Structure formats: C-alpha cells, structure tokens
A and B are shown apart, each in its own frame.
Chain A
Amino acid sequence: NFMLTQPHSVSESPGKTVAISCTRSSGSIASNYVHWFQQRPGSSPTIVIFEDKQRPSGVPDRFSGSIDSSSNSASLSISGLKTEDEADYYCQSYDGSTLNWVFGGGTKLTVL
C-alpha cells in the first residue's frame, strides 16, 4: 500500500504561479500514472491533468503536471493564477499491489 500526501492548503496572488505537490509514501512515483482533479465548492470534481502531464481538451495551458523521481512526487503547476482557480485539488494514482485507486487528501488553493 502507499499513500499520496498533499499540503493541506496553499495560497498565492492572482497572476502568480503556484505548485501543488503530491508525494508517494512508498514505491516509485513513476510506477503508475498520476492524475489531478479540481473541485470547486459544491461541484463535482473535474480532471485537469491525466497520465502525469497530459491536459484534457478544454483545460487551459496554464495547468501543467510533472513528476520528480528524486522527491518521489508529482506536481501540479498553475500559472497566471485567476480567482476562478480557487478550489480543492486532488492527486490520484493506482496501487497495483492492492488493485486500488488512491487519492491524495486534497489541497485547498486560495487565490487572494
């Protein structure tokens, strides 16, 4: 089993860039794809990055994903922050040892 650990909250100013980390507790972050979801208050989640760094159609190129084997973590970066980016963000990956899709605990992004 592994866990995905995210910071509880991050904040940044409009127009700036923010990075949200997702650290895998055991096993290699590169072993399985990481996906990222955005959830605005009162709404269903929407996918913003899939398979580590792929952006679904309709998601602005201000959103990008990466993985870093040295820190065993994935990262979601949002540039040119807008107030509409204020939301909870969740990372997710697959645990092949337990046949389980694992979510991180979520990060609340505040744009102020």
Chain B
Amino acid sequence: EVQLVESGGGLVQPGRSLKLSCAASGFTFSNYYMAWVRQAPKKGLEWVATISTSGSRTYYPDSVKGRFTISRDNAKSSLYLQMNSLKSEDTATYYCASIAAISNVMDAWGQGASVTVSS
C-alpha cells in the first residue's frame, strides 16, 4: 500500500524558516517524480514544487520561487520542502504527492502537514 506521511509542520513567525518532510513507502520512491501542493484555510489547491526522480531538476511557481527548496533522499525514500522567509500567506496545509509516470498526474497524496505563519 502506498503511504506518504508528512511531518514538520507547526507555528512559525513571519520571516523564519521551516522544513517539511514526507516519508514514502509502498512503492519504488526513486522512480517517481514528487511534488508539494498546499491548501490555504478554506481555499483551493495550489501547486508549490516538483522534483525529478534524481533530484537534479526542480520546479516552482513564482509565488515561492527563491524562498522554497524541494529536495529528496532516495536512499531514505524521503521528500523535503525547505521554506524560508515565510509569509502569512504561506499559511496552509502542505501535501506531498507522487506523480505517476503513465498518467503523469499526482495519484497518491499524504494526509498533509499544517503550517501557520503568524507572530
């Protein structure tokens, strides 16, 4: 069974940093592109970052580019999101997701990690 478990969320002050982790199991992690998607309270879904299988290619929307860094450790089957210079608008639940090669969509999601940016 595919499992994605996020951790590392919490309350952080504006301007500070936080690192999220996602532990993967039940599939060959190193064969999958991975992504982070966030959802602000009572809002819709927003793509945050994508990383290639080797980690050599990363992609971000303008809203987080230069502040967030996605990375992975294939030996540990783990995905990370380093978030720097956090703003109040970064407050959201952050989901990690695996991207299926055949369908090229996010086909499995974690339960989410809550991040609140507030003083």
* Chains A and B are bound partners: no
Interface set of B (CB-CB < 8 Å, partner A): none
